[in-house]
Structure 1
Amino acid sequence: MMSIQTSHVPDVSVIIAAYNAMPYLTKSVTSALEQSIGHDRLEIIAVNDGSTDATGAELDRLAAGHPGTLKVIHQENSGGPARPRNRALDIARGRFVFILDADDYLGPEALERMVAVADANGTDVVLGKTIGVGGRKSPTMYKKNEENTDVFSSRAYWTLNPMKLYRRELLEKHRIRFGYELRVCEDQPFVMLAYLRASGISVVADYDCVYWSYRDDGGNITRTIQDLPSRVEVLQHMLPLVASEVPAGPRRDLLIHRHLEIDLPWILRRIAHVEERAEQEKVLADLRPLFDAYYTEALAAGLPAMLRLQCHLIQHGMLDELLTVRRFNEVPSADRVFDVTVEDGRAYAHYPYFRDDAVAIPDSVYDYTAQLSIRQDVGPLSLDEESAVLRVEGSVRLHRVPQEQQATLIVRERDGAAEHRVALDSTDRLCLPLRSAADGRPLATGTWDVFIGLSTGGHTQEARLGGQAEASGTVSVRHELCDGTQLRPVRAYFTQHGNLSIKVSAPVSRLRRDLEPDKASWSPADPSRVLLSGTLRGLGQGERLLVRLTNAVGSRQEFTIAVDPQTGRFEQAVPLTAPGDWRVQWLLDVPGATPRRATRAVSVPEDLGVTQWRRRLLQFWYAKPLPAGKTKTLTLRVGRKSLVKGLLRK
């Protein structure tokens, strides 16, 4: 992307707090220096926080090569990134500020793209897509670009890492700085306040903006801190802060949900491994007031059942039960066995203490309805050509639910609102009758996505049928469905995501597809007849092939053609009995079809001449083809000649 010239005030100040960051620091700073936004729109402020390795020397070396762009500050070690970041913020001049960790780096066009989005939409915070490097995981909520959103209508709050673009006016107006109260996650209050005070948030999801590195020495600060009390302090600080900024209700619950889903599990995973029971009891004692103050029924209902159960045990100080649940939860998910009961439309997980009268935990704590899923073991496709029934090998079940289940195949029009349902006899016999899938009729032209619906205990769950990677390689099934006088080309296939879809192409006349006529000629045995022959495939019981002759005033003559049921061959001489211009057409008659009859023109042979015959002693008849018109339909002019009149005329 091209650099744009601007005033001496830089567009972006990149802030890097560095402590013992070698050798990662070089790539981090270089990625900022090489931004496509250009040096005239950029300043970089790097603060060496008392490093004991070569960090300080490397910063000085880089600054010497870019004296107008890179500014280096050396200070005594402060114990964390908050103070060096704040010091850089105090002297930053850019319209925007980007916080970059010293072991991470930027995509070449990251800053230019993010500034452009902020300027175009007037937003104060921009999230750029992050990519994990070397095995480090990064947030996955960057699904699509967002021009202007907020934390209540997006997943932005699920990433509280500070590596984002901030409008500096926002930070100065509200005096937003990194706090010193927390030993870990000190960036959470900073980012949260920026989110809530911002005029809007933009997301750049179509470009890899920030690369998160996995340090070989394990030096990422989030990986080196293993202090359980410090993690409890994060919740003790953040939940009251959220409450002070957002009134009680669904919006507050949404933000607290994030902390319970992301921060609390870190604590729960380690509490069982604390050696001293007194320390375990203290953790619960520190957490309980938070649950008493901020844990609502609505918030609990939105949590996964396992996390909801642990929150209930924390809130009620049930340490022994919590430790039992933790041991159950630490079993690998593939080996964790439990049933799910469905009653009155709700599903309940049989986690420890479910309906244990001695513990008396409400069923609502075990509500698993939102997590209930359909387990599919779907394999190849096959088609019974005679019955036109599509079969999907495999079975489907509501996962972990042992109850009897009723299954339904659902076909939904991809670009429309039509939907059809086909009840199944069993969850392991997945059959779709193509002739009657649409309420007794074939599916209409278009693409249809196939879903499976399973019902039990008053609850119905639906999902796309398929959904397995190995299914996507299965060969598709093609079929020409006979629908009365028409053929409907049908293709059943698995999409690139492994889901079953059916494409029904536009109907084709059976006469055009299955009739292969020979060239029309005059019968050698009777010159008053036109000889028609050929082959017709797939003529069903009760169906007839006819020839229709129609004249200018609408009079019709129809003749049934005898077709060999084994070979499909036919040969028949059709009589010409009345004078006039007669158009000749094939006719397929299918009782009960809509339309019942379909026509096809008999083609004009190039070498069909004139034929003559005598009917009475002195009366001669003739027939000849008329020139082919636009429809290229054979039209025969039939007339008669009187021998007496001919002689008198002479």
Structure 2
Amino acid sequence: MSRTPRPGPRPRVSVIVPAYNAMPELTRAIDSARNQTIGIGRLEIIAVDDGSTDGTAAELDRLAAECPALKVVHQPNSGGAGGPRNTGLDLARGDYVFFLDADDHLGPDALRRMVAMADQNGTDVVLGKMVSERGRGVPRAVFQHTQLRTDVYSSHAYSTLGPCKLFRRSLIERLRLRFPPCRNGEDKPFTAAAYLNASGISVVADYDCYHVDYRENGQNLTRTAVGLADRIDGMRALFETAARYTRPGTRRDKVMRRHIQWELCGALRALPREDRAEARGRYFPELRTWALAHCSDALFRILTAPERLLVHLLRADRFDDLMAVLGTADEDTERGLLVDKGRVYWLHPYFRDPEAAVPDACFDVTDHLPVRHHLAGAGWHGGSTLRVRGSAAVEGLDRDPEDRTELVLRRRESTDELRLPVTTGDGAEFAADVDIATADAGAPLRPGVWDLYLDVRAQGISRTVRFGSRHDDGLDINTARRVVAAGPGLRARVSPYFTTPYGNLSLDIGPAPQGAPCEVTEAVWHPSEKGTLVVAGRLLPPGSPARDRVLRLRAEHADGRVLDHPVRFAAGHPAGAFTARLSVRDLSRGRWTVTLALVGPGGTRGDGPSHAAPVPPPPRLPGARWLRRGRPYYAKPLTGNGQLTLELRVAPVRLAAALRNRLRRR
């Protein structure tokens, strides 16, 4: 088939499907692409038959006869998925490219959601939530919540280097990206290069976009290519890519940590399965080169003890010792710990063995000791005291009678830290009282967000961990929100909440508005209606009935213009819970203050006195972007000046400044 570019309007997405002996799953994959809600008129599907012998070629031709948007290329077998993907890239005309494996399939609304995410946020790569119905492993951490705009340094995106994502084609062509000629792992250098050069990365986590599966014939390359001979070329290209697009320092270490732990240490653990002469003469020298070139001393220190031991022996050119350690790795992981002079060491047979001559640092696990912790509940005990209940213990160490756990409160964006004693019960159980009125050396807690930690001690070893991510199922932390007396004539609003995305416990403390009609409990962007702010709250005093209360979400411009939006009360809710939506896309440019206002009985501002409650600035509210008459606009929360009320700046995106920022991030 001709590879000459086709005439006609440019499609939004080019879906590239590499196919080799892909029956019967191939039909489902193609159907999932052509039935996308974005519309077949906005797609081109490029299926590349890579020398199949099982009927794949005939099935593609049959499907193409039914669907003009499906273009089929037949080519000799290239030995991997990279070749047909490159063929598809040479033909692609879409604004975006999506790689769909022939044994997987798309959720019906996947491409529409991902394209909208990229368009609205100006991002070059979009990850759609991956799921598996038949037990194939999929990444989970990166899909804990939707992210409008992030990068590889502040998210879990780099943990998934497969190519089944949406890529802006201009990025691919600017970098001249193509898949290297490797049998296995060719996708990782491609994706890594795109990540490290992208203007931004988006994550769609609220919809099952991509469904992965195993083939009925068991011929997935990831399952059949298990030896180092199949993997070494891809790993080499991956290390070279990561080094090319990063500079030495903490950012490179963050990227290389994944490659040292997954690729390098994974290859080392595979050495015993290789021919010993081949392992010594072919693989060991190259793996050693990677360890010397890409594992900095700072990165070495944050590896786990087993990884440090392997990398040390590799860098020291000790092949026989490395193979001996690998041979007993399973049983050695069960060995105990030694506490010595305030440090904890793994009792590996090489630890302090004069003949082995391995530094103690390779066995130091002090900073890696896991802490088992659990939040059982948080509720009010008296007028201003919040009681936190849970359990905590350092795994692998027995607690001495004199060991004491402390609850640590750290005020975000400051150096304020408070330590509160806990009352211990049976085993690792504890309770801690946070008196809002006196916790700060007899003074009230200052307004702000306080993050909760536990300082857990055992045998003189102290481990401080963030607290709250593991808690009882169904624990509703919102029930602990309250306005309390924080001193003579002083009232404070206390809002415990679980952070996003990690679910840790924090306290948001602010002044209680005098005469305020309500309390705001949450302000977030709507997950699917882009540019819509959702504000949730409840009436004050708690339990106030919703009847006869005319409440409006109010946006007030700096020039005095006021726009009111309706509030919806939860039917029958005893606390007068409500939600309201503000379409920021409808606001004109300028500075807008967001409040909740109780207006007169008739619902107009002229019918009586109006009382307002501020909408507090959420700790982490990103900006929003949208198109207005073809021009990109944004809404940015104003922070950093001690605002007690949410303020939004609405303005068109300055294209020159956006371009400079993009070039600066390269």
Residue 297 (structure 1) shift: 0.1
- Indicate conservation of the 8 Å contact 2:375/2:471, yes or no: no
Query: Which one-letter code corresponds to 2:172 in the other structure?
Result: L
Distance 1:502 1:299 in 2: 34
- Indicate conservation of the 8 Å contact 1:421/1:437, yes or no: no
Distance 2:86 2:285 in 1: 34
Which of residues 405, 410, 414 in structure 2 aligns to 1:408? 405
CA distance 1:74–1:295, shift in 2 (3 Å): same
Distance 1:501 1:195 in 2: 32
Residue 473 (structure 1) shift: 8.3
- Indicate conservation of the 8 Å contact 2:136/2:214, yes or no: yes
1:355 aligns with 2:352: yes
Distance 1:171 1:142 in 2: 24
- What is the match of residue 18 of structure 2? 17
Which string of whole-angstrom CA distances, capped at 9 and with x for unpartnered residues, describes residues 244-275 of structure 1? 3333322332222221222234323322334x
Distance 1:448 1:93 in 2: 50
Which segment drifts farther, 213-222 or 57-66?
Answer: 213-222
Which segment drifts farther, 233-242 or 163-172?
Answer: 233-242
- What is the match of residue 74 of structure 1? 74
Secondary structure class of the residue paired with 1:10: coil
Secondary structure class of the residue paired with 1:272: helix
Residue 185 (structure 1) shift: 0.7
Higher RCO (Cα < 8 Å, 6 or more apart): 2
Which of residues 364, 367, 376 in structure 2 aligns to 1:367? 364
- What is the match of residue 573 of structure 2? none
Distance 1:382 1:298 in 2: 42
Query: Which one-letter code corresponds to 2:97 in the other structure?
Result: V
Query: Which one-letter code corresponds to 1:460 in the other structure?
Result: S
Query: Which one-letter code corresponds to 2:307 in the other structure?
Result: L
Which segment drifts farther, 214-223 or 13-22?
Answer: 214-223
CA distance 1:343–1:104, shift in 2 (3 Å): farther
Q: TM-score if structure 2 supplies the norm length?
A: 0.62
- Indicate conservation of the 8 Å contact 2:260/2:295, yes or no: no
Query: Which one-letter code corresponds to 2:37 in the other structure?
Result: S
Which string of whole-angstrom CA distances, capped at 9 and with x for unpartnered residues, describes residues 32-54 of structure 1? 00111111111101011111112
- Indicate conservation of the 8 Å contact 1:341/1:349, yes or no: no
- What is the match of residue 453 of structure 1? 455
Distance 1:472 1:246 in 2: 43
Which string of whole-angstrom CA distances, capped at 9 and with x for unpartnered residues, describes residues 316-358 of structure 1? 233343334334443597xx242153645x5433334222222
Secondary structure class of the residue paired with 1:204: strand
- Indicate conservation of the 8 Å contact 2:377/2:475, yes or no: no
Query: Which one-letter code corresponds to 1:400 in the other structure?
Result: G
Which segment drifts farther, 434-443 or 454-463?
Answer: 434-443
Which string of whole-angstrom CA distances, capped at 9 and with x for unpartnered residues, describes residues 65-84 of structure 1? 112x1111122222112221
CA distance 1:30–1:452, shift in 2 (3 Å): same
Residue 222 (structure 1) shift: 0.8
CA distance 1:60–1:434, shift in 2 (3 Å): closer
Residue 14 (structure 1) shift: 0.5
CA distance 1:199–1:381, shift in 2 (3 Å): closer
Query: Which one-letter code corresponds to 2:457 in the other structure?
Result: S
Query: Which one-letter code corresponds to 2:160 in the other structure?
Result: T
CA distance 1:184–1:401, shift in 2 (3 Å): same
CA distance 1:502–1:437, shift in 2 (3 Å): farther
Distance 1:249 1:389 in 2: 43
- What is the match of residue 196 of structure 1? 196
Query: Which one-letter code corresponds to 1:117 in the other structure?
Result: M
Which segment drifts farther, 376-385 or 57-66?
Answer: 376-385
CA distance 1:31–1:372, shift in 2 (3 Å): same
Residue 10 (structure 1) shift: 0.8
Residue 174 (structure 1) shift: 2.9
- Indicate conservation of the 8 Å contact 2:406/2:456, yes or no: no
Residue 19 (structure 1) shift: 0.6
1:279 aligns with 2:275: no
1:223 aligns with 2:223: yes
- Indicate conservation of the 8 Å contact 2:468/2:498, yes or no: no
- What is the match of residue 131 of structure 1? 131
Distance 2:36 2:399 in 1: 60
Distance 2:193 2:430 in 1: 53
Which string of whole-angstrom CA distances, capped at 9 and with x for unpartnered residues, describes residues 8-64 of structure 1? 211111110101111111111111001111111111010111111121222122112
Distance 1:419 1:238 in 2: 42
Residue 100 (structure 1) shift: 1.0
Query: Which one-letter code corresponds to 2:339 in the other structure?
Result: T
- Indicate conservation of the 8 Å contact 2:398/2:459, yes or no: no
Distance 2:147 2:237 in 1: 30
Distance 1:100 1:471 in 2: 36
Distance 1:95 1:19 in 2: 26
1:98 aligns with 2:95: no
Residue 421 (structure 1) shift: 4.3
- Indicate conservation of the 8 Å contact 2:335/2:348, yes or no: no
- What is the match of residue 61 of structure 2? 60
Distance 2:154 2:466 in 1: 26
- What is the match of residue 339 of structure 1? 337
Q: TM-score if structure 1 supplies the norm length?
A: 0.63
Secondary structure class of the residue paired with 1:101: coil
Residue 305 (structure 1) shift: 2.3
Distance 1:361 1:281 in 2: 21
Residue 441 (structure 1) shift: 8.2
Query: Which one-letter code corresponds to 2:303 in the other structure?
Result: L
Secondary structure class of the residue paired with 1:130: strand
Which segment drifts farther, 428-437 or 92-101?
Answer: 428-437
Structure 2 gaps, min length 5: 1-7, 481-485, 487-495, 510-666
Secondary structure class of the residue paired with 2:404: strand
- Indicate conservation of the 8 Å contact 2:47/2:72, yes or no: yes
Secondary structure class of the residue paired with 2:143: coil
Which string of whole-angstrom CA distances, capped at 9 and with x for unpartnered residues, describes residues 120-151 of structure 1? 23332222221223101112223333334333
Which string of whole-angstrom CA distances, capped at 9 and with x for unpartnered residues, describes residues 146-205 of structure 1? 33433334333322211122222222233211121x221112222222233333333222
Which segment drifts farther, 193-202 or 299-308?
Answer: 193-202
Query: Which one-letter code corresponds to 1:164 in the other structure?
Result: K
Distance 1:305 1:452 in 2: 24
Count of paired positions: 491
Distance 1:470 1:57 in 2: 55
CA distance 1:503–1:236, shift in 2 (3 Å): closer
Residue 216 (structure 1) shift: 3.6
- Indicate conservation of the 8 Å contact 1:407/1:425, yes or no: no
Query: Which one-letter code corresponds to 1:192 in the other structure?
Result: A
Distance 1:501 1:41 in 2: 45
- Within a 5 Å distance, the mapping from 1:427-466 to structure 2 comes to 428=428, 430=430, 432=432, 438=439, 452-455=454-457, 459-463=461-465
- Indicate conservation of the 8 Å contact 2:392/2:429, yes or no: no
Residue 89 (structure 1) shift: 1.4
CA distance 1:59–1:356, shift in 2 (3 Å): same
Distance 2:180 2:441 in 1: 68
Query: Which one-letter code corresponds to 1:462 in the other structure?
Result: T
- What is the match of residue 148 of structure 2? 147
CA distance 1:473–1:227, shift in 2 (3 Å): same
CA distance 1:473–1:154, shift in 2 (3 Å): closer
Which string of whole-angstrom CA distances, capped at 9 and with x for unpartnered residues, describes residues 544-601 of structure 1? xxxxxxxxxxxxxxxxxxxxxxxxxxxxxxxxxxxxxxxxxxxxxxxxxxxxxxxxxx
Secondary structure class of the residue paired with 1:309: helix
Which of residues 394, 397, 412 in structure 1 aligns to 2:393? 397
Distance 2:90 2:137 in 1: 32
Secondary structure class of the residue paired with 1:406: coil
Residue 217 (structure 1) shift: 3.0
Structure 1 gaps, min length 5: 1-6, 478-482, 484-492, 505-650
Which segment drifts farther, 137-146 or 459-468?
Answer: 459-468
Report % sequence identity.
41
Distance 2:212 2:292 in 1: 37
Secondary structure class of the residue paired with 1:72: strand
- What is the match of residue 171 of structure 2? 170
Query: Which one-letter code corresponds to 2:276 in the other structure?
Result: R
